[in-house]
A and B are shown apart, each in its own frame.
Chain A
């Protein structure tokens, strides 16, 4: 066991020294993290401004038909300051072309019909899959009900159910939950770079014929694959570490709606960085498989992009299903479980059992992938054939 560890450390040292000499690698990994942190900060700062804009938002309602005969109704509907009526020849086409949130077509003589207590048929159009259009339609229907009740002589404001609508403002607790949702997903996506980096080092070693001498040494194949992955990990992992650190530090900016106190930021860093490193370890192992399969840098990186798809899936899942619970089963799923661990660790809600399951899953995944990568680079057929 000791011998195997020494072998891995030996190869890791070689790989690390080689990668560390390239300043471009350090700079770009840090820039990648900065890019995502900047985006998150932008979202955080913009969120407050967006809230103000949304509160003042009004919807364009395309109206058509006999507008002269419905002037009173339109004036009554206009009482809602959220709806703005504009006359259009074909309201439905305007809604279809996304030039209006909803459409309303009035039949002839609406005002006269209403005055005579006769029912009139109104044509409303909207885009159901679009929330803003649905809201506009709902507001319009609500306003129609109010007009109807008022016309009949009832008081629409005298209902039994009264609503006190409050806009949820992010406090520290909510901000931490929301930033953790972003960080878990971004960490998974940042691992694409880790996979590429490790695969690229493997590919370059084939191109430069640096792998063959290593294969001639009395080292186990899996020590080679594990060593290269472990050697590249500090630089490649820096991307994720820098990304997660900068994302967490984005919460230190007072203007951000995610703003957290200093003690919470420290706690998030202490829990989040090690969790991100667990995810990075899995990414390094995936990268070593891609690199072992590839015959050159570009080939290895292309394969890395393909094999990194599970990280994309994990990232998308965490972005789109932010309320998904971190069950033990979910934590056991390779890649997804470790991304969940990052999320829960940053949120401060990771249980001991979740940590154990996610880390165990990561260790098992790394061991299996390193074994596969080792077998692939030990394939004599691949060793002997020309690489390009």
Chain B
């Protein structure tokens, strides 16, 4: 409190900016200490995303099974008809990448989990052995890239199986014209660097989304407990009050995110040192820290805004759910997206910072775009907090009963 008074009475010595900073600091400190002292809540906030990531990762690995360690995915193909009589042919054209599953209705199985389906006639193997031309119905789910890939494999595999026959029928001499050296770039130095960058960017993005709930609930709880009304009587600008609360929540949020952030820092640095350039190795930790704080600031600002406007825990839950869904979309389409995004996307708050971090850690981006991404994200966070501060003025807000 003394800090606040000192700051307010000595504007000439320190100027407007210093005064404002001191006020914000004085307002933020008690909330920050209060948040850090609530150890159990802090542990719960730290543990929830950690457990969630472990569970999601565990499910992904368990689901992938042996494929997780295999460089070539296996596709489940639903086979309708005489599977036993077609097994040899289907395995041959599948090139060791298909798992055959008997089905009464291939189209239904394809809708229900199988990657693609085939309808085979009776005795396919025997008919093929006799040189008969056989037509197989193949069912693909066109919007599903896995399904298209599996069907492409079946078609390409058929040509491999038929090669000897086609050559013999043509009466020409066989020769292998193409010797193919195939590289899975995911296992190369650059590929590992790229995957590491994507993982770090995605997890930081998701972790940040978890702060919305914490900030909103804490603010709503303080308001419900009558703690805010007293602070509104202080002779400080409402925007400073909002900024102070935002800073405090950011501090608590960053501490709560440490169990996730620290392993990510280690991962980012390890990948950068072992798989990237000196510049990326130097930039990795600062880049991750700055981006994480910027994203946390943005989501904390959203949480604060939600805490201000929400009129109950259900509304907080709704807003939190929407924030998590949007963050998951950013993580999926930007951090882990199948196509690289243009660097200029850095101008878009949150999304830009995630994309720029991925590019910087991946070694393919200009670090200046990361600066732009972080600046746009922090700028948007400040605007959100100021907007939340304006709502502090409303009599409706001060006077309304819960």
Given contacts A159-B158, A159-B162, A239-B314, contact A166 B138 (CB under 8 A): yes
Given A123-B181, A148-B177, A320:B338 Cβ within 8 A: no
Q: Is A4 an interface residue when CB atoms closer than 8 A count as contact? A: no
Inter-chain CA distance A317–B167, complex, in Å, is: 49
Most B CB within 10 A of own CB, among A22, A156, A158, A298: A298
Min C-beta distance of A137 to chain B, whole Å: 8
| Contact of B143 with A297 in the complex, beta carbons under 8 Å | no
A84-122 interface bits toward B, Cβ cutoff 8 Å, 1 = contact, 0 = none: 000000001101111100010000000000100111111
Which residues from B are CB-within-8-Å of A302?
41, 44-45, 48, 213-214, 217
| B233 interface residue per 8 A CB criterion | no
Evaluate contact between A24 and B221: CB separation under 8 angstroms. Answer: no
Q: Does B194 contact A (CB under 8 A)?
A: yes
A27-B314 Cα distance, complex, nearest whole Å:
9
Taken together as a complex, chains A and B put the C-alpha atoms of A125 and B71 apart, in Å, by 13
Q: Which of B88-141 contact A (CB under 8 A)?
A: 89, 93, 107-108, 110-114, 117, 128, 131-141
Given known A-B contacts A131-B149, A174-B107, A28 and B314 have beta carbons under 8 A apart = yes
B185–A156 contact, CB under 8 A? no
Partner of B142, one of A51, A154, A239, A321: A51
Q: Which of A170-203 contact B (CB under 8 A)?
A: 170, 173-174, 177-178, 181, 189, 192-193, 196-197, 199-201, 203
Are the CB atoms of A306 and B172 closer together than 8 Å? no
Number of A-B contacts defined by CB within 8 Å? 330
Contact A161 B149 (CB under 8 A): no
Least Cβ–Cβ distance between B313 and chain A, in angstroms = 3
Give the distance to chain A from B235, nearest Cβ to Cβ, in Å: 26
Tally B residues with Cβ within 8 Å of A: 110
Determine the chain A residues whose CB is within 8 A of the CB of B52 once the complex forms.
Answer: 309, 312
Determine if A371 is an interface residue (Cβ-Cβ < 8 Å): no
- Asked whether B330 is an interface residue with its Cβ less than 8 Å from the other chain, the reply is no
Complex interface: chain B residues within 8 A of A170 (CB) = 111
Question: If the complex has contacts A177-B111, A302-B44, are A197 and B313 also in contact, measured as CB distance less than 8 A?
Answer: yes
Known: A135-B152, A152-B167. A168 touches B113 (CB 8 A): no
Q: Number of residues in A with C-beta < 8 Å to the partner?
A: 110
Name A92's contact: one of B111, B180, B183 (CB within 8 Å): B183
Q: Which of A29-37, A268-276, A353-361, A374-382 contacts B (4 or more CB under 8 A)?
A: A29-37
Chain B: which residue is nearest A129 at the CB level? Answer: B186
- Inter-chain CA distance A119–B181, complex, in Å, is 13
B residues 21-48 touching A (CB-CB < 8 Å): 38, 40-41, 44-45, 47-48
Instruction: Report if A216 contacts B (CB, 8 A).
Output: no
Closest 5 CB pairs of A and B: A323-B113, A200-B313, A298-B221, A131-B145, A24-B311
